[in-house]
Amino acid sequence: MLRPWHITTLFAVLAGFGFYSNIINRERTSYRSRNIPESLSAIECMKLRRIILQNSKSIKTRHFLQYVNDIQRCPWTENKTAFNHLKLCLESCCNASHFMLVTQENTPIGHTFNYETQQKKTIQITPEIHQMFPKVSPFNGKHLGHCAVVGNGGILRNSFCGNEIDKADFVFRFNLPPMNRSYDTGSKCDLVTANPSILTSKYGSLQGKRKPFIDMIKSYGSALILMPAFSYTMNTDICFRVLHSLEDFGVHNRVVFFHPEYLKNLSIKWKENGLKAKRLSSGFMIVNAAMELCERVTLYGFWPFPKDPEGRLVSHHYYDNISPKPGFHSMPQEFYFYIQMHTKGSLYLKIGEC
């Protein structure tokens, strides 16, 4: 039997919950309301597309950010002709379905690799190394459907893109990101790259206790773990150690390795197209692979600038504000190519909230 004070307490709790929910909803509504831009006219959009496609690599950053903000106010239409043209160009130079990953099929025992970034350094494929490779590429002959390529940019914070990302047929992620903001970043993961530098800084190169690393890997479900074992000589041992650690703990995620020839060919192609960088970022590598392997591609969390298109400060990553080493990658220039692909209708670049 409810006493009067029970009823009073119950109403107080319900009122408090309603007040809290109202505040949260108002905050979300307020955040969303200031991000609903007015659409541009068809003529304005046509002029804007022309500017981006002709001049984006030479546009000053402050102007470029305004163009990026404005292009979001124009309707986006998928252009299958532009998409298929880029897909064919990438297939002819690089062939991701067969050569993105090292396999037993494309790399026989006794083969000698030149390292991707250290061409004078080589490694011979022994029977022990050969058995680490999948027999054939898991992408060979497959069509992945709609792919979400999820970057780690701070632009993802408060984007509420998680549900949209998880609806994709295949989800790519980068550099073992924390999976603790599912409402913004989603929870689905089919492939995640793993930079050896992260394993060195956070997990002691797996030389000591490996359980924390194993627990972290489990947050990606059954995703493929993609590593650059043959990009630098210093990467090889730690990449092999990751594979052996997962086997030792009975974790069934498959560790696969970038093919150094694939990465070298991809780099040559984009240098010929004017991209000047010491090395392509892992994000750019995977976007290119997705353009070959998928039927439709949407990018989330790609934003290399310290302010969003509306001038608000954003962190470099959605989980920290640690910037990359200067002069190594050229992410702003890579982003210019993304916005051109978006403008052509080859892929959809999602910026801000969903």
CB 319 within 8 A of CB 272: no
Residue 125 CB contacts under 8 Å (≥ 6 apart), including other chains = 107, 108, 109, 110, 111, 112, 113
Residue 38 CB contacts under 8 Å (≥ 6 apart), including other chains = 73
Q: Could you tell me if residue 113 is left (phi over 0), alpha (psi between -120 and 50 degrees) or otherwise beta?
A: beta
* Catalytic entry in 259, 316, 317, 329: 329
Residue from 334, 312, 281 nearest 349 by CA? 334
Residue from 265, 199, 270 nearest 229 by CA? 199
- Alpha-carbon distance of 1 to 264, in angstroms, equals 76
Q: Could you tell me if residue 59 is left (phi over 0), alpha (psi between -120 and 50 degrees) or otherwise beta?
A: beta
Residue from 146, 156, 154 nearest 300 by CA? 156
- Alpha-carbon distance of 352 to 337, in angstroms, equals 18
Residue 262, classified by CB atoms within 10 Å of its CB into exposed (0-12), middle (13-18) or buried (19+), is buried
CB 88 within 8 A of CB 119: no
| Token couple for 75 | 């309707």
Question: What DSSP state is assigned to residue 37?
Answer: P
- Alpha-carbon distance of 275 to 4, in angstroms, equals 73
Q: Which residues of 44-62 are buried (b: 16+ CB within 10 A; e: fewer)?
A: ebeebbebbeeebeebeee
259 has catalytic annotation: no
Q: Tell me which residues are annotated as active site.
A: 329
